[in-house]
Chains A and B, each alone.
Chain A
Amino acid sequence: MTEFLQQLINGISLGAIYALIALGYTMVYGVLRFINFAHSDVFMLGAFVGYYAVRKWGIPAGGVAGGLLVLCLAMSICAIVGILIERLAYRPLRGRPTLSVLITAIGVSLLLQNLGQFVFGANPKAFPRLFPEANFHVGQLSITSNQLLVIAVSLLLLAALHFIVHRTKTGTAMRALSFNATASSLVGINNDRIISFTFGLGSALAGAGGILYAMNYPSIDPLMGTMPGLKAFVAAVLGGVGSLPGAALGGLLIGLIETFVAGTGWSTYRDAVAFAILILILLLRPAGLLGKSRSDKV
Chain B
Amino acid sequence: MLPRSQIVLLISLATAGIISAFSSRIDDYILDVVLGIGINIILAVSLNLINGFTGQFSLGHAGFMAVGAYAAGTLTTGPGKAWIAAAGVSPAVLFPFVLFAGGLAAAFVGLAVGAPSLRLKGDYLAIVTLGFGEIIKVILQNIESLGGSRGMVGIPSYTTFFWSFGAAAITIYAAWALVNSTLGRGFLAVADDEIAAEAMGLNTTRYKIIAFVTGAFFAGIAGGLYAHLKGYISPAGFDFNKSIEIVVMVILGGMGRHVGVVIAAVLLTVLSEKLRDFGDKRMIVYSALLILLMLTRPQGLFTWKSARKASPG
List the interface of chain A (C-beta within 8 A of B). 34-35, 89, 92-93, 96-104, 106-111, 113-115, 117-118, 122, 226-227, 230, 233-234, 237, 268-269, 271-272, 274-275, 278-279, 282-283, 286, 296, 298
Contact = CB atoms under 8 A, between A and B. Distances in A.
Nearest to B291: A107
Contacts of A271: 134-135, 138
A276 B65 CA distance: 21
A114 B280 contact: yes
Contacts of B57: 99, 102-103
Contact of A93 (B122, B130, B142, B294): B294
Contacts of A227: 134
B178 interface: no
Contact of A100 (B135, B142, B286, B294): B294
Nearest to A236: B127
Contacts of B130: 230
Interface string B128-163: 101110110011011000000000000000000000
Interface stretch (B75-83, B112-120, B224-232): B112-120
B195 A283 contact: no
Interface string B274-290: 00000011011011111
Given A269-B142, A275-B132, A118 B295 contact: no
Interface size on B, as a range, is 35 or more
24 contacts: A92-B295, A93-B295, A96-B311, A97-B312, A99-B55, A102-B123, A102-B126, A106-B244, A107-B288, A109-B287, A110-B287, A111-B284, A111-B291, A118-B284, A268-B138, A271-B134, A271-B138, A272-B134, A272-B138, A275-B135, A278-B131, A282-B120, A282-B124, A296-B195
Contacts of A98: 122-123, 313
Interface in B93-125: 113, 116-117, 119-124
A114 B283 contact: yes
A274 B131 contact: yes
Secondary structure at the B interface, as helix, strand, loop or mixed, is helix
Does more than half of chain A's interface fall in helix, strand or loop, or is it mixed?
Answer: helix
Contacts of A122: 280
A230 B131 contact: yes
Given A103-B290, A106-B59, A107-B290, A269 B280 contact: no
B62 interface: no
B266 interface: no
A279 B134 CA distance: 14
Contacts of B134: 227, 230, 271-272, 275
Given A99-B313, A230-B130, A282-B128, A89 B139 contact: no
A109 B55 CA distance: 21
B138 A97 contact: no
A216 B247 CA distance: 35
Given A99-B313, A110-B287, A282-B124, A104 B295 contact: yes
Nearest to B133: A275
Contacts of B289: 107
B294 A268 contact: no
Interface in B240-287: 240, 244, 247, 251, 255, 280-281, 283-284, 286-287
B298 interface: yes
Nearest to B132: A275
Contact of B127 (A113, A233, A269, A286): A233
A107 B247 CA distance: 11
A227 B138 CA distance: 12
Nearest to A109: B287
Nearest to B123: A35
A96 B313 CA distance: 9
Contacts of B128: 275, 278-279, 282
